[in-house]
Amino acid sequence: MPHALAIRHVGFEDLGSLEEVLADAGYRIEYADAGVDDLVSADFLTPSLLVVLGGPIGAYEEDIYPFLRAETAGLRERLAAGKRTLGICLGAQLMAAALGGRVYPGSGKELGWSPLQLTAAGAASPLRHLDGLPVLHWHGDTFTLPPGAELLGSTSRYPHQVFAMGRHALAFQCHPEVTARGLERWFIAHAAEIRSTEGVSVPALRSQTAQHAPALAAASRELFREWLAWRCAR
């Protein structure tokens, strides 16, 4: 049975629609909770798939959250070994850092639903399932594209949204995994952030979510299934 290890930084940001795909594919799913579980001695190499999920902290805040050092080091080792790895939001930023990119505060919050602009490489990849569909953006940090990485998707505000490293590593600054039901927990837990972001409100986000989340979940399931079926180079 293949093993999927998901590193979770806050309890409400989970695998979302990806969990169904992994269960259908026969994966044994395990969560490791950052700040609670020991990531220093965690085995980053053995799992068939490592998923690093999002969270409301910066990848560069290692002095405040020391477990980030262990995550980045584990990701660096796993990615160098060509092991299948998926990063979402903070997870993508940690992947970028592990691969030699720089993560830093951006020009402001990108919070809400809007489509990605796919590159030619993105349109030829499993990312094509998201073509033209609004996806959820919820971040204020950004990163430089790591050496050797291939850019797959952008937005006008933050051009580095999705990148790949070969066929084994895929990183999303945005959130393809979210579901309408799951986001209700976000609206509660991120209440202060929503209130402090100009032009954003819970009713507006809930309305956009009702409109866009079902199509995103269906497309993301196809994206994840196809990506998991790709044969890695190593």
* Residue 221 domain flag: yes
pLDDT tops 60 at residue 233: no
Instruction: Say which of 139, 168, 177, 190 is annotated catalytic.
Output: 177
pLDDT tops 80 at residue 155: yes
Q: Is 226 a catalytic residue?
A: no
Q: What is the pTM of this model?
A: 0.96
Q: Is 71 a catalytic residue?
A: no
pLDDT at position 231: 59
Torsion of CA 206, 212, 218, 219, to 10 degrees: -130
Mean pLDDT of 81-88: 97
* Residue 37 domain flag: yes
Residue 230 pLDDT class (50, 70, 90 cuts):
confident
Q: Is 150 a catalytic residue?
A: no
Domain count, the chain: 1
Q: Convert the chain into a string of H (helix), E (strand) and C (coil).
A: CCEEEEEECCCCCCCCHHHHHHHHCCCEEEEEECCCCCCCCCCCCCCCEEEECCCCCCCCCCCCCCHHHHHHHHHHHHHHCCCCEEEECHHHHHHHHHCCCCEEEEEEEEEEEEECEECHHHHCCHHHHHCCCEEEEEEEEEECCCCCCEEEEECCCCCCCEEEECCCEEEECCECCCCHHHHHHHHHHCHHHHHHCCCCCHHHHHHHHHHHHHHHHHHHHHHHHHHHHCCCCC
* Residue 113 domain flag: yes
Mean pLDDT of 114-130: 97
* Residue 168 domain flag: yes
pLDDT tops 50 at residue 234: no
Instruction: Say which of 19, 71, 89, 212 is annotated catalytic.
Output: 89
* Amino acid at position 66, single letter: P
* Residue 15 domain flag: yes
Tokens of 14: 């989970």
pLDDT digits (tens, 9 = 90+) for 135-146: 999 999 999 999
* Residue 234 domain flag: no
* Residue 126 domain flag: yes
| CATH number, position 114 | 3.40.50.880
* Residue 161 domain flag: yes
Domain span at 61:
3-229
